[in-house]
Amino acid sequence: MTGILIVAEVDAGELRPDFRELMTVARAMSATVPGGIAIALVGAKLEAATRQAARIGADSLHVIDDHRLADPWPEAHAAALIQLCGELSPKMVIAPRTILGAEMAARLAVHCRWQLVQDVTQIEATPDGGLKCLRPVSGGAVAATVRAGAGPWVVVPRPRAFTPDETDTGSVVVAPVRHAFEPPVLATVCEAPKRIAVEGIGIDRAQTVIAGGGGLGGPGPFGLLREIADLLGGAVGASRVAVDSGWVQASLQVGLTGKTIAPDLYIAVGISGAIQHLIGCSSAQVIVAINSDASAPIFGIANYGVVGDWNEVMPAFRDALAGHAS
């Protein structure tokens, strides 16, 4: 029986950086969840990712490398993970809070009838053999305590809630155990994905994100936000209003129906702060809000706020940054 199984998601052939945060959770729980730490790699063309994972210090590494898992097909990836869990019988599964990872976690929990705890910011074992976790609710304004009974559990940590574990075993390499993928009859079909080119850094990887909302009034001002993002070495994001209005592409959307991000700095320009948007950005280390409405909800979670017209504030901010850079 395996103690803790970490689901390692792969991006462009390499482990996603947030994998290190999952390792932190695993190491913290390993004292109370016996059986060691195992890593699960599910996908296609995993040679580079396998070499990376083999040196991170887990007790075992399990790989399902199959061409049918090349694309982020939730049902197929979940089927592979379910198969692997059937062979390893883990006490705890830790999955990343990504679109694919969260869906795999939910499907696994339902299929195996295991307890699912999502968006975890703190986790500890309880004397009765269960778990006590904290997770943010109401856009991060409140922390809810979630208790789970005896495992198995499926745990999905919140991005940036845990410090990345940078352990590297160097010359100590764990030999991967390879598993053949034996999928059941699947109810869905995954067509060839449509790749959307994103200018600059993706918002889910950027340390600084400057996002625009309905208060900008149209697509034009996003050019100004791009100038500022370039000066800060960051990325441009958007609220759902801006995306639904066709001002920017959907890949820039921050929020419940977009992406959940956790940059060091998040600058919200002309965004009122509906709860759906706050869910996507509340994990940022520092939030700066610029809005002409002093009662906008975004100010409720902002570390710093400017009540004013973005048309006056942002050009001056850009000029100050440009002057400093020169």
Name the average pLDDT for the chain: 90
- Residue 266 phi/psi, 5-degree rounding, is -125, 120
Domains of the chain in start order, with CATH, are 4-178 (3.40.50.620), 208-325 (3.40.50.1220)
pLDDT reading at 241 higher than 70: yes
pLDDT-derived band at 198, boundaries 50, 70, 90: low
Per-residue tokens: 283: 């994990």
Q: How far is CA 213 from the centre of its chain?
A: 22
- 100-135 pLDDT, tens digit each: 999 999 999 999 999 999 989 999 999 999 999 999
Q: How far is CA 308 from CA 82, 106, 267, in A?
A: 52, 43, 14
Q: Report, as an integer, the average pLDDT of 48-71.
A: 92
Strands 131-137 and 122-125: antiparallel
- Inter-residue contact 36 to 2 (CB < 8 Å): yes
**Residue 224 in this model has a pLDDT that exceeds 80:** yes
pLDDT of residue 173: 77
Q: Give the pLDDT confidence of 160-184 residue by residue, as tens digits.
A: 888 888 777 665 678 899 999 988 8
- Mean pLDDT for 199-225 is 91
Q: Is 132 exposed, middle or buried, given 0-12, 13-18 or 19+ CB atoms closer than 10 A?
A: middle
Tokens 């845990």 sit on residue = 162
User: What was the pLDDT predicted at 143?
Assistant: 84
Query: In which element (H, E) is residue 51 found?
Result: helix 47-53
> Quick one: tokens of 314?
């942002």
* Residues 6 or more apart in contact with residue 23 via CB below 8 angstroms: 6, 37, 56, 57, 58, 164, 165, 167
- Residues 236/242/243/244 CA torsion (nearest 10 deg): 180
Q: Sorting pLDDT into bands at 50, 70 and 90, what band is 69?
A: very high
Residue 125, both tokens: 């074992």
Say yes or no to pLDDT of 17 above 90: no
pLDDT at 195 > cutoff 90: no
pLDDT for res 156: 96
CB 285 within 8 A of CB 163: no
pLDDT > 60? residue 158:
yes
**CA angle 284–97–262, rounded 5-degree value:** 10
Query: Average pLDDT of 29-53?
Result: 93
Predicted local distance difference test score (pLDDT) of residue 326: 62
The total number of residues shown for the chain amounts to: 326
Quick one: pLDDT band at residue 293, thresholds 50, 70, 90?
Answer: very high
pLDDT beyond 90 at 136: no
Handedness of CA 140, 100, 247, 209 (dihedral sign): positive
Look at residue 178 and give its three-state secondary structure: strand
Give the pLDDT band (50/70/90) at residue 11. Answer: confident
pLDDT 10s digits, 244-270: 999 999 989 998 888 888 899 999 999
For the stretch 296-306, pLDDT in tens is: 999 999 999 99
